[in-house]
Amino acid sequence: MTSSSTQGIKTVLHPVTDVAKAKPVYAALLGTEPQVESAYYVGFDVAGQQIGLVPGGGSQGMTGPVAYWHVPDIEAKLAEVTAAGGAVKEAAHDVGGGRLVATFTDPDGNVLGLLQDS
């Protein structure tokens, strides 16, 4: 079986209901203020890892934190994981700046993410 490479988990997104309350908790945990703040995303960069808060993530179907594996070819990796028994939850789509994200579930329903930067 040939497979495309994975660059590891570099992004973890956390759904939050109240970003104003969540932001100081994560800032205290991570020891830094967010590097990105918008209405739909608050992002912290910690030692090369992106820790993100997604306001309203629960209403978007996020039931808990989602770890995103960085890959060079998101479509190839989605094809591999679905051929192996995974199921696409959210097809690859651009979230800005050429960054593509997708989610899939494993046979137990755990949600896993894929991320490709252009």
Could you tell me which of 71, 70, 54 has the C-alpha nearest to residue 62?
A: 54
pTM: 0.84
Q: Which CATH architecture has domain 8-58?
A: 2-Layer Sandwich (3.30)
Confidence bin at 118 (pLDDT 50/70/90): confident
Q: Are 49 and 14 in contact (CB under 8 A)?
A: no
Q: Are strands 49-55 and 9-16 parallel, antiparallel or unpaired?
A: parallel
How confident is the model at residue 12, as a pLDDT?
96
For residue 2, what pLDDT band results from cuts at 50, 70 and 90?
low
Task: Tell me which fold the domain 71-118 belongs to.
Answer: 2,3-Dihydroxybiphenyl 1,2-Dioxygenase; domain 1 (3.10.180)
